[in-house]
Amino acid sequence: MLTHTSSLSAIASVVALLTACTDTGVEKNFSRSEEYTRLMSEADFTETSNLSDLSGMATYQGVAKADFGSFSGTADARITADFSEDKLSGSMTNWVDDDPLNYDLNGKVELSNGSIDPHAGTFATDMFGNIERSPVGMVDPANPPVAVWIAGNAEGSFHNSLDGDHASHVVGVMEGETSDAGGVISGDFVAAR
């Protein structure tokens, strides 16, 4: 049998656990917003990079933001460019809801079959994935988890940094449909080597 003191202690533990989880989401969204702004401010958007003299693989890390129609969030973006084969792939993982105090996001958005135009410094790729949004805390039948499947495409470009680092940044936009009736996804990402 729980006493009043142990009940209060149990409640305090649950509140502390929930606060830690939600504070992490708020902090992560804030950090991603700062990183997104920093990455965008470092790139020279006056022209795209000519990639025809590049070979080998390069990995870019950054931030993705997406609106899934009825909710939105941010993710870690990882883009891999194969300049020898003019191919591109990527993934957006570790999603955080824009309302992290009330909702969790799980899932992944993938970029595949991407082709790079080395002279134009641009790329186009397929996009697919799934995201599940669930309320934080106890399950509420009136507010069940929502899962959406995503299909569409992404396109973007490579840019030098303002200090002259060649093809140091990649930016892109994502567009597609979700499994919700008439649902759409729109978003963008920026990443740097």
List Cβ neighbours of 126 (8 Å cut-off, separation of 6 or more). Answer: 111, 112, 113, 114, 152, 153, 154
pTM of the model: 0.85
3 domain-assigned? no
Which sign does the torsion angle of CA 14, 15, 18, 19 carry? negative
Query: Quick check: is 4 in a domain?
Result: no
Q: Write out the residue range of the structural domain in which residue 48 sits.
A: 9-192
* Residue 62, in any domain of the structure: yes
Domain membership of residue 180 (yes or no) is: yes
Is residue 1 situated within a structural domain?
no
pLDDT digits (tens, 9 = 90+) for 131-184: 999 999 877 888 889 999 999 999 999 999 999 999 999 999 999 998 876 789
Task: Look at strands 87-97 and 184-192 and give their pairing.
Answer: unpaired
**Torsion, Cα of 85, 122, 106, 41 (10° steps):** 130
Q: How many domains does the chain have?
A: 1
Q: How far apart are the first and last CA of the chain?
A: 58
